Amino acid sequence: MLVVEHSAQVEMVCRVLELSRSSYYYPAQVKAENDLQDAIRSVAGQFPTYGTRRIAHQLRRPPYHYTVGRKRIQRLMRSMNLLRPVKRLRIRTTDSQHEFPRFSNLMEGLTISFPNQVWVADITYIRLKHSFIYLAVVMDVFTRAIRGWHLSRSLDQNLTLYALNQALVQNCPTIHHSDQGIQYAFKNYIQVLRAHKVQISMASVGKPEENGYAERLMRTIKEEEVELAEYKDLDDARDQIGRFLEDVYMTKRIHSALNYFTPEEFEALYQISSLPTP
């Protein structure tokens, strides 16, 4: 009854003011659209490389709780000029011209189906004002979780070894996969892997796509953290990159490969699903 009375009142007011009935509801629609655009800007600002599909999924999560489709997000982002390609710059950090042992690629045709089945590792450079520093990261492929990382002024063997040892504190993989860079082939690194009975796998020389999981991770770190930040020095870079890896990437950033969960959520759900049935 109240709905009918309200509808009649709206119709009467619009008739007196010589306005169409739809104009009564238009301001609310405009506000809702503006609020959604603000939410899109917020998500796009936090995650600059998100496409329309992941932004739509992020908007369905707390704190937004929108019921919204990808096509609508695509339309709005296009009107907001947010559908712009990202330019990428590559600098080589891999030196595969060495005499250390080489290992076959164990990833070919492998189905990855549980945590710590495969870890991948890679290195990238980060430019400071007057110098470069280097980041080594170890990631679990199944959960996309960061297992270990290290930042250093030197592109030496300790860079990767520190990240590996950090990763091995709480977890251990079946397979460790990397490129054939000297930092992953030198004696001490191989000894640590063998001491933990880890199978060693390497991509072929000149085929970065064979280490694609690690390559994509490094691209994400570059685009969503490094290229958007200014680091005063090594300590500042370590603080900011650590916050991104351990907080944003692990607990806030959703992954399409993880059914739009974060690595932390996905791993927790896997552990729960693996519990024996009472």
CA distances from 196 to 148, 159, 167, 173, 214 (A): 16, 19, 12, 9, 21
φ, ψ (nearest 5 deg) of residue 120: -120, 150
Estimate the crossing angle of helix 70-79 against helix 52-59, to 10 degrees. Answer: 110
Where does 118-273 sit in CATH, by number? Answer: 3.30.420.10
**pLDDT tens across 59-114, in order?**
888 888 888 887 788 888 888 888 765 454 455 555 455 567 889 999 999 999 99
Query: What is the model's pLDDT at position 172?
Result: 98
Query: What is the model's pLDDT at position 212?
Result: 93
* Pairing assessment for the beta strands 199-202 and 118-127 based on DSSP bridges: unpaired
Per the model's pLDDT, the better-predicted residue between 187 and 74 turns out to be 187
Per the model's pLDDT, the better-predicted residue between 40 and 119 turns out to be 119
**pLDDT tens across 209-249, in order?**
899 999 999 999 998 999 888 898 999 999 999 999 999 99
Q: What value does the mean pLDDT take over residues 54-60?
A: 88
Query: What is the model's pLDDT at position 3?
Result: 39
137 bridge partner residues = 122, 149
pLDDT surpasses 60 at 23: no
Query: What is the model's pLDDT at position 94?
Result: 53
- pLDDT above 70: percentage of residues in the chain: 82
Query: What is the model's pLDDT at position 44?
Result: 86
Query: What is the model's pLDDT at position 5?
Result: 46
Element (H, E) at 268: helix 263-273
Average of per-residue pLDDT values in the chain: 85
Estimate the crossing angle of helix 22-46 against helix 70-79, to 10 degrees. Answer: 80
- Write down the domain spans for the chain: 2-79, 118-273
Q: What value does the mean pLDDT take over residues 122-127?
A: 94
Query: What is the model's pLDDT at position 100?
Result: 73
Model confidence at 4, pLDDT cuts 50, 70, 90, reads very low
Q: Strand (E) positions, 74-145?
A: 118-127, 132-140
Query: What is the model's pLDDT at position 75?
Result: 82
Q: What value does the mean pLDDT take over residues 159-186?
A: 96
Query: What is the model's pLDDT at position 35?
Result: 84
Query: What is the model's pLDDT at position 205?
Result: 79
Using alpha carbons, select from 260, 257, 227, 266 the residue that is nearest to residue 244: 227
pLDDT surpasses 60 at 7: no
pLDDT surpasses 80 at 265: yes
Q: Say if CB 23 and CB 14 are below 8 A apart.
A: yes
Query: What is the model's pLDDT at position 15?
Result: 58
152 bridge partner residues = 134
How are the residues of the chain apportioned to helix, strand and coil, as percentages rounded to the nearest 5?
50, 15, 40
Tokens for 53?
Answer: 């599909």
